Amino acid sequence: MELQYRIEKESLFVPMPQEVDHHVAKSISREIDFLIDSWHVRQVVFDFTNTEFMDSSVIGVMIGRKHTMELYHGDVFAIHMGDRAKRIFEKSGLDRIVRTDF
């Protein structure tokens, strides 16, 4: 899995893959944490444009990055979510923790 992260100003954009399970989630979490530390970003923006399947491991990815960004006085966003992603966010309460108004 090779994601094409990009940094614009102080925002790290993370294109989420087509399928996100716990194996992918671990890898994404490690990579994002490394990039946050390396580039001192203020926002992490998860883009779900291409995501067709995701399990509950996404919840851990999002909450973990939210905690990390709070240490840097930053924020986490989720954009371009499909119906499945929106349902997971709503049922888990992520929609009250992760911003969707980037």
Six token digits for residue 81: 């979510």
Domain ranges of the chain: 6-96
Q: In the Cβ-directed half-sphere of 87, how many Cα atoms lie within 13 Å?
A: 7
pLDDT at 94 over 70: yes
pLDDT tens digits along 25-52: 999 999 999 999 999 899 999 999 999 9
What pTM was estimated for this model as a whole?
0.92
- The percentage of residues in the chain with a pLDDT greater than 70, rounded to a whole number, is 98
Q: Please name the residues in contact with 56: beta carbons below 8 A apart, sequence gap of 6 or more.
A: 88, 92
Q: Which fold has domain 6-96?
A: Transcription Regulator spoIIAA (3.30.750)
